[in-house]
Amino acid sequence: MSVIRAIEYKDEKLHIINQTLLPLHLEFIITDDYNRIAEAIEKLEVRGAPAIGIAAAFALALSVKNLSALNKENFYKAYERLSITRPTAVNLFYALNEIKKTFHANYGKENIFSVLINRAREIHNDDIKMCEAIAQNGLSIFKKPSVVLTHCNTGSLATGGDGTALNVIKSGFEKGLVELVYVDETRPLLQGSRLTAWELEQCKIPFKIISDSTAAVLMKEKQIDLVITGADRIAINGDAANKIGTYNLSVLCNHHSIPFYIAAPSTTIDQASNSASDIKIELRDKRELLEINGNAITKNYYDAFCPSFDITPNQMITAIITEKKVYKSPYNFKNVRDN
């Protein structure tokens, strides 16, 4: 299997694959400017909840790199800038707060930049380990060689390691447990047809791209054995926010008696969200729906509703796969990171 890394820190700069150009062009953003990294998060040049968190951790650490005189005001300015980039992805806030805690504990020390960068590296390495554990735990969901459907992108491009839901699929394929992957194109930004398809191609896993609305037909014709997606925020009761269109799949799976799984690291579980009502859903610019690659596909003055995520209720989820174990209903993720 080829190794794809969405984010790498080297030579005191962050190297980020510009995912808006994939799969046609592979280009990197190379920067030590936290504002440029914040922009990359907002523009979805880097995306996926774990990857967003890792990028933000390095960005906040880099914010103190070139300061002639370190002060808390500059650090908090960077913190606030990064915290408003993507409101739904809880990993963002987990990573920023870890760097903030490290900053407070080491404020006034001469080597604080190195200390912060090392904490960001630890966050990155932790995610690599969690991705591998998720993949191993996820093997238990395959009862036979299966045809799998997935939504959006949950592989190496979305994480610090080899992915969450897509890593479960990769591991299943290596064990002879995945025969074919149906990839939702994932409108409006086509993360499935652009990114997941590209990753599956790199790994030589058989796949077919489908429109989001094709899933129902495949399920009706008994062509899908299971569905697995990622998540950007999971509440304590198991309600899960993920890319818009995920809830549709859970409803279809429920109707057709098909298992519906979510794979995510424990850092995606938000201890401040008891249920769906506590999760803020990000609304995106309507141009993402009215245009493709900057080209209008309808009239630009039409109004549009463009949420980035929807919420799948916990009762619609067969199991949630984390690096700790596979959890089944009823879900109670209170203090799960400490267990």
Q: What are phi and psi of 30, to 5 degrees?
A: -120, 115
**Count of other CB atoms within 10 angstroms of residue 176:** 9
CA distance 300 to 294: 11
Mean pLDDT of 203-207: 97
Nearest by Cα to 158 from 7, 334, 300: 7
* Structural domains of the chain in order of their starting residue, each with its CATH number: 7-132 (1.20.120.420), 137-338 (3.40.50.10470)
| Contact by Cβ (8 Å): 235, 278 | yes
Q: What is the pLDDT of residue 32?
A: 96
Q: What is the pLDDT of residue 1?
A: 43
Residues 288-307: tens digit of each pLDDT: 999 998 899 999 999 999 99
Q: Which amino acid is at 165?
A: A
| Contact by Cβ (8 Å): 41, 85 | yes
pLDDT higher than threshold 90 for residue 2: no
Catalytic-role residue among 184, 225, 232, 270: 232
Q: What is the pLDDT of residue 339?
A: 61
Residues 18-53: tens digit of each pLDDT: 999 999 999 999 999 999 999 999 999 999 999 999
Residue 212 is among the residues annotated as catalytic for this protein: no
Which has the minimum average pLDDT: 7-11, 59-63, 89-93, 231-235? 89-93
CA distance 300 to 318: 40
Residues 211-223: tens digit of each pLDDT: 999 999 999 999 9
Q: What is the pLDDT of residue 69?
A: 66
Nearest by Cα to 304 from 316, 295, 313, 291: 291
Q: Which amino acid is at 39?
A: E
Q: What are phi and psi of 133, to 5 degrees?
A: -65, -40
**pTM score:** 0.91
CA distance 287 to 294: 8
